[in-house]
Each structure stands twice: as C-alpha cells, then as structure tokens.
Amino acid sequence: MPFLPLRPVPVADGAHALYQEWLSWLSEQLADADCDRDALVRTVLSDIYFPELVGRDPTSLSRTAQVAIAQMDPRNVTLEPEYYQETDLEKYAPRKPLLWLWEMFDRSPLGENVELGIHFRRMLAPHVFASCGKNFKAFTHVRVSFGYNLSVGDNVVIHRHVLLDDRGGIEIGNGSSVSDFANVYSHSHDIVDGRIVRLRKTVIGNGVRITYHATILAGTHIADDSMVGAGSMLTRSTEPHWVYVGVPARKVKEKSADERAQKPPRSPDPMADPE
C-alpha cells in the first residue's frame, strides 16, 4: 500500500508575496483594539464583490444593486445564532462580522484557492474561536455556528462543507480531522416541544478521524485515536483506537496495537506555518 504524504505546491511568482501582504494587513487590523470590525469587513467584501462600485453614490444604483451592496456590511444582515435565547451577545458581537467575512470569502472567487484560503481561515480562527492551536487547516465552506464555544488543538484539519455546530460547545483535540460533508452537533431538541433545547458539549479527542458524511450527535466524547466511518451516525461515546460504523454507529474493529506502534511519525505539512 503506497504511503502518500502531501507535497508542496507553488503558486505563480509574486502571488505568494501578494497573499502574505494582504493577510498581514488584515491581521494587523484585527489586532488593533480600536478596529471597527463591521467597517473592515464591509470594506473587504465590497472590494471582493463590487470593486467597480466602491465610492459610487448608492442612490445612483438600482434598488437591487443597493440591496446587494448592503449585504457587504455585517450590520445589515442577521445570522441564525442571533435569534437564540441562550446566545451570549457580548461574546457573539465581535465574532459576527468575522463569521460573515469567513462565509462570504468562501462564496467568492477567492474561496476555492487552497493556498490563500487555508492561510486566510487560519488567520481568522483565533479571533473567532474560543481557542485555536497551531497549523489549523479549514478548507472551503466550513460553517461554524457561534465560534466562541469552539476550541481547537494543534494540527487540526477540517475539510470541505463541514458543519461545526458549537451551540453547546465543541472541543477538537490535537491532530484530529473532520472529512467532507460531516456534521458535528452540540445541541438537541425535545421530541415533543422543539423549543426545549438541550445543550451538551461534544468532545473530539486527539488523533480522531471523522470521515465523509458522518454525523456526530451532541454530548458524545470521541476518544483518542478512534474513527467514525463514512456515513455513520454517532450517538454515544467511543473507546480509544476503535473504528465505529453504521446508523447508529457501533464499534466494529480495533486498530492493531502492532500497526499503531509501527505508524510513521507525522509527515511534514507543506502548508504549516514556519516554526
């Protein structure tokens, strides 16, 4: 069986420097305690989506164009968590503009650029999450509900179209990965009255693999080095080193102790930040 670590992929001359210059500027803006995040996001998104209209008098445009431009300002939009009674608005307020920036970046022509997108989301994550370790990688169209209830360790990878519903809290341990189209929940509703909401923290341990299209229900604890198979629904906590598959997911195979002992060390990541 071939061993296939990631390889470095260069971009065109000058592009890397251009990306780093832009990301450094954004990082400096966000590090400023006096930064108006709503205004910053409005400026960035306007430049991305409507550069030809920047500086134009909005009243000279059609109503539809005015509505479209209004979406560039986070103050003109509402997001789902704002409607929830338990939302800590003091914590959510500074994160809302950045969540909107994250989502709108992903929907733009910039979002599919892996080189730019990984570093863009890595730059935003510490300002959005409760905590974020080094070398965080999120691919395009990752959705985060609140942000302030999400804690992420080192070398975590979140692939495309993943939902991290941190309404009740999510922890993701070092070296864990969540594959494409997986959903991780931390709240549930009463089956009789949907207004009764149970908030239950979901914990993903170290070295966990949640694979394609899996669903993790609220309150589960995925133990270190365990794996949830493709399309599975996890309804209960796991044991270390076991693979769980099915709906509901059940343990089907334990990873061999000999194979675990012989596993090569972590491969160099071409997209890791310099030490």
Tell me how many degrees the CA angle 185-73-186 measures, rounded to the nearest 5: 5
Other CB atoms within a 10 A radius of the CB of residue 45 amount to: 21
Spatial distance between the Cα atoms of 27 and 6, rounded to a whole number of angstroms: 27
Token pair 């863009």 is found at 120
Q: Give the fold, CATH level 3, of 129-254.
A: UDP N-Acetylglucosamine Acyltransferase; domain 1 (2.160.10)
Spatial distance between the Cα atoms of 125 and 135, rounded to a whole number of angstroms: 11
Residue 223 confidence (pLDDT): 98
Residue 4 confidence (pLDDT): 87
Instruction: Decide: 120 and 72 in contact? Cβ < 8 Å.
Output: no
Spatial distance between the Cα atoms of 218 and 198, rounded to a whole number of angstroms: 9
**Best CA proximity match to 141, nearest among 174, 117, 165, 176:** 117
Instruction: Decide: 181 and 211 in contact? Cβ < 8 Å.
Output: no
Residue 77 confidence (pLDDT): 98
Per-residue pLDDT of the chain (275 residues; tens, 9 = 90+): 688 889 999 999 899 999 999 999 999 999 999 999 999 999 999 999 999 998 899 899 999 999 999 999 999 999 999 999 999 999 999 999 999 999 999 999 999 999 999 999 999 999 999 999 999 999 999 999 999 999 999 999 999 999 999 999 999 999 999 999 999 999 999 999 999 999 999 999 999 999 999 999 999 999 999 999 999 999 999 999 999 999 999 999 999 999 999 888 888 899 998 87
Token pair 């993903």 is found at 204
Global pTM reads 0.95
Residue 1 confidence (pLDDT): 63
Sequence spans of domains, the chain: 129-254
Instruction: Decide: 216 and 228 in contact? Cβ < 8 Å.
Output: yes
